[in-house]
Amino acid sequence: MSHAAMNEARKGMLVKQVGPLALIQDAGRFGVGHLGVTQGGAADWISFRWANWLLGNSLNSAALEIVMGGGLSFETESEVRLALTGADLDAQLDGKPLAPNSSFKLLPGQRLVFRQPRQGLRAYLAFPGGLNAPEVLGSRACTAREQIGGLHEDGKPLKVGDRLTWKGTAPAVRRIVEGQGPRMPASGCHLPIVLGSQIASFSGHSLFQAFNQPWTVDNRADRMGVRLTGPGLHGSLTGIISEGIPLGAVQIPPDGQPIVLMNDRQTIGGYPRLGALTAIACATLSQCLPGTEVWLTPVSASQAQDDYRDQLKVWS
């Protein structure tokens, strides 16, 4: 075996302890909704892209999405430079704190630990060239409900003993300009929403409540959807013929409490909708801890598109 091949064989990082949820994610799985397969992918796609940008990866390269931390820990077998963005989960390298939104070097035998959220909910850990994992329907993204993606092609989170390997060897060393990188939401943040065709079915009083008072992020939240609690919203429709569900769709079930559908949502649904959060708003909501107050703020489709294009420009 050549020296290069031996180095490649030793390249890896072992999972020593697991937390609540650590999933391999990329940009998502598209073009398969007609098969009933949802998009999946990084919930905070902005932080995810920044993590890959820091290493000079393709922005869609597979990385780890780490929720809450909860003691998740790794031990590296080889020297490697990683990038960490998104939530501050009190990450530590051999007991020394790591700042989010930067890259850092690990040496063989060092241990990386994620403890608990200090700001935000999801952190993203990128690897040189992206993580190695089987590609299923054009993506490596884990979707637990559909049991596809990830290291073992079963959609399950990392478990103790799993070994992560990556594609690249010499990543770029980049830095995020202060004020340009991902920002974690604070209570009172605004979530832009593009109104939908069923908006006229809601009463005037409900529409006033929807957009003129804060909603609270409930603890009933996961990668499928986030429930918002507040005054019940009601209208003339109690149900509709099931139709396709976009990312960020704001459904109003019979109890009147909005549910924002996220990356692992079902592909069709039959509850009336206020509209859909913008892509940027979905990234923001994915970082909101339970108890965070948010405001729904109507915007035009053209404004949402302009904001999305402006966000993409920062990586060009």
Q: Dump pLDDT digits (tens) for 164-214.
A: 999 998 788 999 988 788 999 988 999 999 999 899 999 999 999 999 999
Render pLDDT for 134-163 as a digit per residue (tens, 0 to 9): 999 999 999 988 999 999 999 999 999 999
**DSSP summary character for residue 78:** S
Instruction: Output the pLDDT for position 4.
Output: 46
CB 114 within 8 A of CB 89: yes
Domain ranges of the chain: 3-164, 189-313
CB 272 within 8 A of CB 243: no
Binned at pLDDT 50, 70 and 90, residue 240 comes out as confident
- Mean pLDDT value across the chain: 93
Instruction: Output the pLDDT for position 145.
Output: 87
**What is the pLDDT averaged over residues 63-85?**
96
Q: Nearest Cα to 253, choosing from 219, 282, 229, 277?
A: 229
pLDDT of 1 strictly over 70? no
What architecture is the 189-313 domain classified under in CATH?
Beta Barrel (2.40)
Render pLDDT for 255-298 as a digit per residue (tens, 0 to 9): 999 999 999 999 999 899 999 999 999 999 999 999 999 999 99
